[in-house]
Amino acid sequence: MPNLEVKIPPMGESITSGILAKWHVQDGDVVKKDQPLFELETDKITSESAAEAAGKITLKAAAGDEVKIGQVVAMIDPEVRDQKPEASSAAVAEPAEPQAKAPAAAESQIKTPAPAAKAAGSQISDLKSQVKTPATASQISNLKSQIKAAPPSAAPAEKSQILNLKSEINQPAGERQTRRKLSPLRQRIAERLVAAQHEAAMLTTFNEVDMSAIMAIRAKYQDDFVKKNGLKLGFMSFFVKAVVHALKEVPAVNAQLDGDTLVENHYYDIGVAVSTERGLMVPVIRDCASLGMAAIEKAIAEVAAKAREGKIALTDLEGGVFTITNGGIFGSLLSTPIINPPQSAILGMHTIQERPVAINGQVVIRPMMYVALSYDHRIVDGREAVTFLVKAKQSLEDPARLLLSV
């Protein structure tokens, strides 16, 4: 049976390459069918690739390499399906000849000094590229000269010294800076954020929401909600429904520019920003107008988990008409979120804080949240933006409006 090629899978029409971020297996491992092999990081998503068959894998690319779509990064030999304990049998010596084999091993080391010295020299060169301070570079230079002057049998000892030095250099206590190349995803995020600020006439309007009604509903029905649906009722589902209601009331916010053409959307696919180790992603919840609270909570939980585990697909990120981002989970009191092009607006949620407010002539303490709507002033007028935010505020402070569509 011929060896199976492991190729970089297609990720979408606009993605032609990526970074092989991590191997989950080592060269020579025997893998199982559907076992995760590697993580590929592109300018839009990070995804895993699994083995299509069982067998012994031979790696053709290293972690950190830039790879093209369709490139062969490994080969799987399906004829080898079981691990064989070769190392353990080689490590066991026969007790009858312990002294006879020791000189042979020593003789082998003396006869082949070049590979050891070459490996040590390579490690020094590699280490030099990581060192930034003259003092440490001097230490490496001294070690290199010592290895050249030392007899071949001393090379392994010097190699150990180099590894120890490398370990010491990599300790964070002695570093003033750490440099690493931006990942494709982080580069793409940076490009989009800068482009949004340069290309859109972005403006932000603010308001505040009394969260008392929503918090009372959650406290009253949380246990029943969990028993029926298997997950908690969060705040985000209320905001999604309030945004859908406001978009219906102010359709100008549910529009976008395509060149010199204004495109009005008549569907409600809402993006929910998710923070991951690799950067911010905005998976889209489809047809929110027809979903109930439980369905929205489940959809958010599913796409958020996929984003954080690196299993999200490109289709999960495309087609949103509006975005909600929640800086409140990190403690943000107020911010001006940046539009997610080509959308015309984004709603920023913030932390809930008890504050004194005036209600019916009385000062009372209420759980309040500042909300911010950033919008493209080329498409949305100030009156429409303020009206949208007021409609969302009304729905959040009186959730019954969502049931009655008023």
CA distance 320 to 284: 6
E-assigned strand segments in 259-300: 261-264, 270-272, 274-276, 279-281, 284-285
Residue given tokens 């298997």 in the structure block: 230
CA distance 266 to 248: 9
Which among 77, 350, 381, 398 is annotated as catalytic?
381
Q: Residue 259: which of 333, 179, 342, 326 has the closest Cα?
A: 342
CA distance 143 to 276: 42
Cβ within 8 Å of residue 79, ≥6 positions away: 1, 55, 56
Reported as type and span, the H/E element at residue 123 is helix 113-130
69: left (phi over 0), alpha (psi -120 to 50) or beta: beta
Q: How many residues can be counted in the chain?
A: 406
Compute φ and ψ for 86, nearest 5 degrees.
-70, -40
Contact 313, 335 (CB under 8 A): no
CA distance 344 to 257: 8
Question: Is 266 among the catalytic positions?
Answer: no
In terms of Cβ atoms closer than 10 Å to its own Cβ (0-12, 13-18, 19+), residue 43 is: buried
Which among 126, 223, 287, 377 is annotated as catalytic?
377
CA distance 373 to 247: 13
Cβ within 8 Å of residue 337, ≥6 positions away: 204, 323, 325, 327, 346, 347, 348, 372, 374
Give rounded-to-5 percent helix, strand, coil for the chain: 45, 25, 35
Question: Is 377 among the catalytic positions?
Answer: yes
Residue 358, strand partner residues: 363
Residues taking part in catalysis: 377, 381
